């Protein structure tokens, strides 16, 4: 199930945020601290997670301390859904 979440998040980030569907995002690749996702797109990611997985991320959680990789974000989503 975790892999499905990661795939879905990776697809969204590559297509909608980076506008490059071919871009492969590794599960352990740094997303926020690397500047791959900038602050303007974090709120988009929060909206996507809420719509796709029915899980709310508080805006205080949209930072590299809470999650900085697909793995970490997927774990957060999975934990909230459980």
Give contact residues for another protein (rule: CB under 8 A).
19, 32-36, 38-40, 42-44, 46-47, 50, 59-60, 62-64
Q: Do residues 71 and 78 make contact, with C-beta atoms less than 8 angstroms apart?
A: no
Q: How many CB atoms lie within 10 A of CB 31?
A: 22
Closest separation between CB of residue 67 and another protein, Å? 12
Q: How many CB atoms lie within 10 A of CB 25?
A: 19
Closer residue to another protein (CB): 3 or 65: 65
Q: Do residues 72 and 11 make contact, with C-beta atoms less than 8 angstroms apart?
A: no
Closest separation between CB of residue 27 and another protein, Å? 17
Q: What is the Cα 30 distance to its own chain's centre?
A: 11
Closer residue to another protein (CB): 3 or 38: 38
Closest separation between CB of residue 47 and another protein, Å? 7
């Amino acid at each position: 199930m975790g892999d499905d979440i990661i795939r879905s998040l990776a697809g969204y980030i590559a297509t909608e945020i980076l506008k490059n569907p071919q871009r492969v995002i590794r599960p352990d690749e740094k997303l926020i601290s690397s500047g791959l996702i900038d602050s303007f797109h974090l709120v988009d990611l929060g909206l996507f997670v809420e719509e796709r997985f029915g899980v709310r991320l508080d805006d205080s959680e949209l930072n590299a301390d809470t999650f900085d990789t697909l793995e970490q974000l997927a774990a957060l989503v999975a934990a909230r859904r459980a």
